[in-house]
Amino acid sequence: MVIVMKPSAPREMVDKIKRKMVSLGCDVHESVGKGQTILGLVGDTRLINPSQIEANVYVEKLLRVSHPFKLASRTFHPEDTVVKINGVSIGNGSLIVAAGPCAVESEDHLMEVASEIRKSGASMIRGGAFKPRTSPYSFQGLGEDGLKYLKKAKEATGMPVVSEAMDQTMFDMVEEYVDMIQIGARNMQNFALLKQAGKSKKPILLKRGMSATIEEFLMSAEYILAHGNPNVVLCERGIRTYETYTRNTLDLSAVPVIKELSHLPIMVDPSHGTGKWTLVEPMAKAAVAVGADGLMIEVHNQPEEAFSDGAQSLKYDNFQRMMDTVQKIYAVR
C-alpha cells in the first residue's frame, strides 16, 4: 500500500501517519519526490483501515501495489534511484560502462586491460576472481590474489571495480576489496546470499538468472532492499531459450519493462548475452537505445588466449569503436 500525501501536508502530519502505521505493525518507507511525499507500507498491512487514511485531508490518494515487489517498485519510489559507486553514479544521466576481462588472469594483464579501457572512456573495471564455471576442470579464478590485483588496478586508474561473490563464505572477503559486489546469474535466487548482500554497505550488481522472469528478478532485488541495502543495480545478461545460435537470448525488452516497473538502474551485458564478440557492439547499441543506464563488456588483448570467455571478448580497437558509437546513441536517445 502507498499513501501519497498532498504537497500541502505539514511535516507533523506525515510523521503522525508514519507513527500510526508503525504502531499497526508495518514498516514505512518514505520517499520525497518533486513536491510530494510518498509513504510506502511493507509488511503486515491487515490492521490498516484504508477509508480512515483516505479521510485525512492531507492525503492525496491511497494506492494498492499490485506487484509482489514493493521497495523495488516505482509506485513506492517514483523517482529514479541513483547508485553511487565510489565516485561513479549510475542512473543519473551518464552512461556507465564496466569493462575488463572475464576473469582476472594476472596482475600485469589486468593493469594493461584497465589502462586501455580507461583510454576508451570506461568508468569501471570488471573482472572475476571467483568464477562460476560449468566444468569443475575449467579455470576457477585466482581467488584472493585476483581481488588484490583488482584493488591495485583501481588505485592505478582511479576506476572503481566490480567483482562477483559466489557464496556466503567469500562474501566478506570480496566486499573488503571491491567497490561493487556482483551477484551472478547462477546465484540470482540464492536467498541466503541476497540477504547477506542486503546487510552490506556496498552497492550490489544483481544479474538476471538465466531462466528468471522479470518478476522473479525484481523479487531478488527486493530481498536485498528489504534487508537494508538500497544500492542495487540490475543487469540483464540474457536468458535461456530454444535458440542455440547465441549463448543466451538477450532480452532487451526487459529494459523498458523494468524502467516502467522499478526505479532501480539497469545495465545490460551483451557479452554474456550473446556469447559472440561480433554481436556485442550491435546489441550494446540497441541496449543503450532502449534505455540502459550502463553496459558490462568483456575486453581482452588476446581473446584467443583468454582463460575464459574469449569468444565474446572485444579487442581494444573494437571496444574503442563500440564506446564511440554508444556514446553518440546515448546523447540522442
Binding site for ligand PEP (CB under 6 A): 102, 128, 132, 164, 184-186, 207, 237, 269, 272
Identify the DSSP state of 81. Answer: P
The span of 59-67, 97-105, 277-285, 325-333 binding Mn ion (CB under 5 A) equals 97-105
Q: Give the helix/strand (H/E) hosting 287.
A: helix 277-289
Closest CB to ligand PEP among residues 76, 307 = 307
Q: Kindly state the smallest distance separating residue 167's Cβ from Mn ion, in Å.
A: 18
The span of 81-89, 102-110, 114-122, 281-289 binding Mn ion (CB under 5 A) equals 102-110
Whole-angstrom Cα distance, residue 291 to residue 52?
40
Of 261-320, binders to Mn ion (CB under 5 A) are: 309
In the list ligand PEP, Mn ion, none, the entry touching 105 (Cβ below 5 to 8 angstroms by class) is none
In the list Mn ion, ligand PEP, none, the entry touching 236 (Cβ below 5 to 8 angstroms by class) is none
Q: For 82, left (φ over 0), alpha (ψ -120 to 50), or beta?
A: beta
Show the cell assigned to 289.
537505445
Give pairs for 157-160: CB < 8 Å, separation 24+: 157/114, 157/115, 157/118, 157/125, 158/87, 159/88, 159/114, 159/118, 159/122, 159/123, 159/124, 159/125, 160/85, 160/86, 160/87, 160/88, 160/123, 160/124, 160/125
The number of residues that bind Mn ion (CB under 5 A) is 2
Closest CB to Mn ion among residues 179, 309 = 309
Q: Kindly state the smallest distance separating residue 141's Cβ from ligand PEP, in Å.
A: 10
Q: Kindly state the smallest distance separating residue 99's Cβ from ligand PEP, in Å.
A: 11
Q: Which residue number is nearest to ligand PEP in terms of Cβ?
A: 184
Closest CB to Mn ion among residues 171, 277 = 277
Whole-angstrom Cα distance, residue 84 to residue 87?
6
Residues in the chain: 333
Asked if residue 39 binds Mn ion (CB under 5 A), the reply is no
DSSP strand E in 25-142: where? 26-33, 36-43, 59-63, 83-85, 88-90, 96-100, 124-126
In the list Mn ion, ligand PEP, none, the entry touching 207 (Cβ below 5 to 8 angstroms by class) is ligand PEP
Whole-angstrom Cα distance, residue 155 to residue 193?
28
In the list ligand PEP, Mn ion, none, the entry touching 237 (Cβ below 5 to 8 angstroms by class) is ligand PEP
Q: Kindly state the smallest distance separating residue 312's Cβ from ligand PEP, in Å.
A: 10
Closest CB to ligand PEP among residues 92, 138 = 138
- Taking a C-beta distance cutoff of 8 angstroms, is the pair 234, 267 a contact? yes
Closest CB to ligand PEP among residues 38, 159 = 159
Whole-angstrom Cα distance, residue 302 to residue 308?
11
Whole-angstrom Cα distance, residue 33 to residue 76?
11
Closest CB to ligand PEP among residues 185, 226 = 185
In the list ligand PEP, Mn ion, none, the entry touching 154 (Cβ below 5 to 8 angstroms by class) is none
- Taking a C-beta distance cutoff of 8 angstroms, is the pair 2, 31 a contact? no
In the list ligand PEP, Mn ion, none, the entry touching 247 (Cβ below 5 to 8 angstroms by class) is none
Q: Which of 59, 95, 102, 280 binds Mn ion (CB under 5 A)?
A: 102
- Taking a C-beta distance cutoff of 8 angstroms, is the pair 226, 219 a contact? no
Tell me which residues touch Mn ion (CB under 5 A).
102, 309
